[in-house]
Structure 1
């Protein structure tokens, strides 16, 4: 059952389709690379489709004046540098990256890079000089962890008012996600919520995380999403279901895959805007002069099927606020 059927996104795509394609005066074939720390942003993936559809509206036709090279590390961060060298050798004109480790590695190549999401605070990590004037070779889409974390925690409290202890899972080896955790933890303390810090560095660490929660049971879980936590999401879903723990995630694809609820940026919008930044780079703009942008849409999604399987009753006021309810 959908509450709002993502009409805003659909309307935005319709407007994009209505825009006349920008004529390309050059006979050049543009080469775009993508780099993900997890699964590849393939041509047929949801995010890849948005990226290429928006580029098509700007006049770049795959198989015509655009080639597309998707690379992914499958959770093995050590693979990122050679993947980047492969992209560089193929002569890409720009890279669309996901996450802080790929963005940091791309910075060393000097290839113009657009971060689509998952980079954390790019200023605090030293990735860029400022949001308004990034400097260097990187621009993209960012978000503010503090306000988003406050919203996620407030949604957990609305769902389960007695929540006072929240387990936070994040990748300790990802500086962007560690800073996101710290921002989330600071917000939690301001809301009188005790934080149970559960950082992981590799898949085997999840068993230790679950053991820690068995020893000191939290009231809820907040998972900070990067390639490591996302690739191990089913283990978190299963633990939360077995213990009947409310859990909130950062992106709606995690809820569609079995998580309870999410609040975070609309990835379709992020990839649409990333494509627009790529177009500007292809037209001669320097990433250093293109300000980082903030998402404007943050869908709240609930998986009612997951809630029912857990025996968890979702209050009517929480259901009414959801942008989408998955049954």
Structure 2
């Protein structure tokens, strides 16, 4: 083969490869975009995205074939959320899935874009997302973390389990700000306190650097345990919050499973990962032509009890066999 022919073939090969790249990119670009906005760190965002992907697959859609994802996460810095929502809007998504604190931001910044909210612990009706659970009536639908009975029923179940670990509890310190979610949690805790024979102590805090003071004040007031709010400010700054609430050596109870896995004595709440999976199913339905207005808001149906036996041992507590039997996760 002549050198000139060889060079000609190499050139044709290069040109063919160069032409193929825009075609693949254009094919990906033509797919409907599913935007995902979460307030937490990258690790959490990837776990949540995997659950959404599973839900969409269960609904018959495959990433890269039927749709493509666009993910943004705020890494716990909530003031970044509006700009991240606008970044996603520039990609012209067909639907956005937004969790927890990101949900009201997406609803406010992108009011006309179909929204599937998930892992949302507040009341979506009061938040203005929808007209009702059965008929949302607008551009938003999704799932909430409360079961039938709302926050009070969930708190009642949580404290019933916690009292098996700390049967002599007379006073519990609530650690949380005055956010919408923390206020709802506090009200629910106060509502059930009487039936369990304890009082709730709360010292106001507004910032992360006030947690240590609130914990210390609660201990001075004689609390026998600490209840840690699931509000986004605390949850998304867990590595900073956890040492402060565990330092006094008191039993601790939290909401989401990650609290128990990270070191609190116990946590009980809706299964966050399952929430994201169900959000993926709803996103698939919207891509298929269904309207958020016609998709009922779902309430939690799957719950997770986490017991941290390592923490129990350090506190000199023993978990009853019944609790160990019903626990979904036991950290040893």
TM bracket, shorter-chain basis: 0.7 to 0.9
In the aligned structure 1, how far is the partner of 2:176 from the partner of 2:119? 16
Name structure 2 gaps, 5 residues minimum: 1-28
Q: Within 5 Å, give how 1:87-98 maps onto structure 2.
A: 87-98=88-99
Residue 151 (structure 1) shift: 1.1
Pair 309,42 (structure 1): closer, same or farther in 2 beyond 3 Å: closer
The CA deviation string for residues 63-105 of structure 1, in whole angstroms up to 9 with x for no partner, is 3332212112222222211111111111111111111x32222
Greater Rg over alpha carbons, structure: 2
- SS of equivalent residue, structure 2 residue 208: coil
Query: Once superposed, which parts of structure 1, at least 4 consecutive aligned residues long, lie more than 6 Å away?
Result: none
SS at match of 2:123: coil
- How far, CA to CA, are the matches of 1:191 and 1:171 in structure 2? 24
Q: Once the 2 structures are TM-superposed, how far is the Cα of residue 315 of structure 1 from its aligned partner?
A: 2.8
Check conservation: 2:124, 2:130, Cα contact below 8 A.
yes
Q: Pick from 154, 158, 161: which aligns with 2:164?
A: 158
Q: What secondary structure, in the 3-state scheme, does the structure 1 residue paired with 2:318 have?
A: coil
Residues of 1 paired with 2:182 and 2:293: CA distance? 23
CA change 1:166–1:126 in 2 (3 A) is: farther
Q: Contact 1:116/1:274 (CA < 8 Å) preserved in 2?
A: yes
CA contact (8 A) 1:103 1:119 kept: no
Tell me if 1:83 matches 2:88. Answer: no
Aligned equivalents of 1:261 and 1:301: distance in 2?
A: 6
TM-score (normalizing by structure 1): 0.83
Change (3 A) 1:234 1:60: same
CA deviation vs aligned residue, 1:142-196 (integer Å, no higher than 9, x gap): 1121111011111221111111211122232x32332233223222245442111
Deviations 1:114-148 (A, max 9, x none): 11203322223443222112222211111121111
SS of equivalent residue, structure 1 residue 171: coil
Distance 1:279 1:91 in 2: 17
Which residue in 2 is equivalent to 1:268? 273
Within 5 A, what are the aligned runs for 1:18-97?
A: 29-40=31-42, 45-97=46-98
How far apart are the structure 1 equivalents of 2:78 and 2:204? 17
Cα distance between partner residues in 2 of 1:222 and 1:42? 23
Deviations 1:181-220 (A, max 9, x none): 3223222245442111244332212122122123213111
Q: SS where residue 264 of structure 1 aligns?
A: strand
Q: Structure 1 residues 241 and 202 mapped into 2: Cα distance closer, same or farther (>3 Å)?
A: closer
Distance 1:181 1:138, change over 3 A: farther
Match in the other structure for 2:102: 102
Unpaired segments ≥5 residues, structure 1? 1-26
Higher helix fraction: Structure 1 or Structure 2?
A: 2
Cα 1:125–1:166 shift into 2, 3 Å:
farther
Deviations 1:266-302 (A, max 9, x none): 1232122111111111112221221111121112111
Alignment of 1:202-241 (within 5 A): 202-241=207-246
Q: What's the counterpart of residue 117 of structure 1? A: 119
Match of 1:170 in 2: 176
Classify the secondary structure of the residue corresponding to 1:308.
Answer: helix
Matched positions, count: 298
Partner SS state of residue 46, structure 1 = helix
Structure 2 CA distance for partners of 1:87 and 1:42, relative to 1, 3 Å:
farther
Deviations 1:242-277 (A, max 9, x none): 322111111212222222211111123212211111
Alignment of 1:291 with 2:318, yes or no, is no
How far apart, in 2, do the equivalents of 1:112 and 1:41 lie? 26
Instruction: Name the structure 1 match of 2:130.
Output: 128
The root-mean-square deviation of aligned C-alpha atoms, in Å, is 2.3
Counterpart among 242, 245, 248 of residue 243 in structure 1: 248
Give secondary structure in 2 for the equivalent of 1:317: helix
